[in-house]
Structure 1
Amino acid sequence: MKLVKSLLVTGLIATLSFGALANADSSNKLKTMLTAKLGLSVSSVKPMPIDGLFEVMTDRGIFYSSQDGRYIMRGNIFDTVNGFTNLTEGAMAKMRNAKLESYASSMIVYPAKDEQYTVTVFTDVDCGYCRRLHSQMQQYNDLGITVRYMAYPRGGQDSKTWASMESLWCSSDQRKAMDDLKSGTEIAQSVCPNRIPDHYQLGVEFGVTGTPAIVLDDGTLIPGYQPPAKLLEVLKS
């Protein structure tokens, strides 16, 4: 009997190992194929709970693919049994958290004295709602919310805003330069090595389509302006 149990266990382990290897092999083949087909940087491919469907994480967000790579789609997938959970946003939140901290040293930070929460805001200095958010910075800070800014000039690299934000990040007093630009005051133009292109690309990867875009400390992305009291409610929930 012991020999039979041992053989069954060994067989089960071998089956599981073979399944894991088969999944890894399928994922690797699919990653190579989709990198060529999509023309994007594919960072990972992994099977979904749905038979035959794979999650494809790229530098343009998440795509879904059939096992053979023939069919590709984009959108949110919800689990209707487990609380109508958004599986797509859950995967994106984990990715955002994993990547964001490596950018911390290049952020412009407005710290709360009694910090309880930290949010990261992709901002454009010429965006009306971004300016509104910035005008209430003291209120956010008083509620214990530290605000960290990342650059996301919506007009792209050839825009006037991009040049202004490069000068902002090159400024010797970044917070004063941010305050000036957000109030409509021009600052001296300057050029230096900076991470504006990296910030912008990260925003694209995170799914930012407009500003302000607020990333909570759990990786959740909230598009658009949130008043101080409302943002606190969201953070508490």
Structure 2
Amino acid sequence: MTNFHLKNLLIVLGLASINITITSYASDSNVIMITPVKATINTNTSKLSPALVNDLKRLGIKVNSVSNNVTSGLKELITDKGVMYISADGKYLIKGSVIEIKSRTNITTNAIKQLRAEAVSKNHDSTIIYKSPSEKFSVTIFTDITCGYCRKLHHEIDDYLAAGVTIRYMAYPRYGLKGSGFSNLANIWCSDDPQKALTAAKLNKGKHIKPVENCKSPVKAHYNAGKSFGIRGTPAIILDDGTLIAGYKSAPALLSILKKSANKLQ
């Protein structure tokens, strides 16, 4: 498979070889609606062959985990490019949302939420934390010191803490892993007092950040984690259940969202 480009469109090639029912809707080319039926393909194993792993690598896709919990005939791939699906015979790759028709459950959305929650938990120890003295909720925020709304949010940090919301920051250099945006964030995370360094950087728009020799920061890991589940801008707020809140939210607005989310779990 050469000159293959991943797009935010559903890619389905020759799915007649898979015994599932697919209904596509012109109003949303990013969705596949699936009714599970009895399949003729053996999907007992959730592993991919080494040859298939190499084929995906050549497409620029690194597979982190594989599961068969979607429907007969498809494997769910958790990759560094997000959630994808592959036919059981390994011939066809699908990028798009899978919805179980009877329950109207968006299986892909749930998978991405779980991916976010796991990634945030995995990187918990490398976040910069501003802890509320009266903590009721906590959120993880992907941030960048070049982002105006990130600075606005941080200028109001005391409002969030007073509302009982602990803020954990992960780094997301919006312009990628090169240049001053990346190096400045790395130096902040490597500083003797990252919390103080981050606050100072946001107050002075990233100027006068002190370089740290032999800096081994988690910024690359944070960036790759965010990119894998669709972070495209900052601030990006992740709730503990993996829900993504894109963009700036004031302390009262965020607190309202958190309360509603907590009520749904009860």
Tell me which residue corresponds to 2:15: none
Query: Could you list the per-position Cα deviations for residues 99-150 of structure 1 after superposition, in whole angstroms to 9, with x for gaps in the alignment?
Result: 3223222110011111111111111111111111111111111111101001
With over 3 angstroms needed to count, the CA separation of the structure-2 counterparts of 1:76 and 1:234, relative to structure 1, is farther
1:77 to 90, 93, 98: 98
Tell me which residue corresponds to 1:14: none
Confirm or deny: 8 A CA contact 1:33 1:69 kept in the other structure: no
Confirm or deny that 1:135 pairs with 2:158: no
Tell me which residue corresponds to 2:47: 28
**CA drift at 1:178:** 1.0
With over 3 angstroms needed to count, the CA separation of the structure-2 counterparts of 1:64 and 1:184, relative to structure 1, is same
The whole-number CA distance in structure 1 between the counterparts of 2:238 and 2:44 is 31
Confirm or deny that 1:222 pairs with 2:245: yes
Confirm or deny: 8 A CA contact 1:119 1:148 kept in the other structure: yes
Query: Could you list the per-position Cα deviations for residues 47-68 of structure 1 after superposition, in whole angstroms to 9, with x for gaps in the alignment?
Result: 2444422211112211112222
Question: Quick check: which one's helix share is greater?
Answer: 1
Which deviates further from its counterpart, 91-100 or 201-210?
A: 91-100
The whole-number CA distance in structure 2 between the counterparts of 1:196 and 1:49 is 33
Tell me which residue corresponds to 1:42: 63
The whole-number CA distance in structure 2 between the counterparts of 1:137 and 1:28 is 45
Query: Could you list the per-position Cα deviations for residues 20-55 of structure 1 after superposition, in whole angstroms to 9, with x for gaps in the alignment?
Result: xx5333x324x5454222213212222244442221
TM-score (normalised: structure 2): 0.74
**Structure 2 residues without counterparts, runs of 5 or longer:** 1-38, 261-266
**Larger radius of gyration between Structure 1 and Structure 2:** 1
Aligned residue identity for 2:53: T
Query: Could you list the per-position Cα deviations for residues 167-198 of structure 1 after superposition, in whole angstroms to 9, with x for gaps in the alignment?
Result: 11122121221111112252222232211111
With over 3 angstroms needed to count, the CA separation of the structure-2 counterparts of 1:188 and 1:49, relative to structure 1, is closer
Structure 1 vs Structure 2: percent identity of aligned residues? 38
Aligned residue identity for 1:35: V
The whole-number CA distance in structure 2 between the counterparts of 1:170 and 1:236 is 34
RMSD: 2.0
Size of the aligned set, in residue pairs, is: 214
Q: What secondary structure, in the 3-state scheme, does the structure 2 residue paired with 1:130 have?
A: helix
Confirm or deny: 8 A CA contact 1:89 1:220 kept in the other structure: no
Question: Quick check: which one's strand share is greater?
Answer: 2
2:255 to 211, 225, 232: 232
Runs (4+) off by over 4 Å:
none
TM-score (normalised: structure 1): 0.82
1:64 to 77, 81, 85: 85
Aligned residue identity for 1:165: L
Tell me which residue corresponds to 1:190: 212
**Structure 1 residues without counterparts, runs of 5 or longer:** 1-18
Q: What secondary structure, in the 3-state scheme, does the structure 2 residue paired with 1:140 have?
A: helix
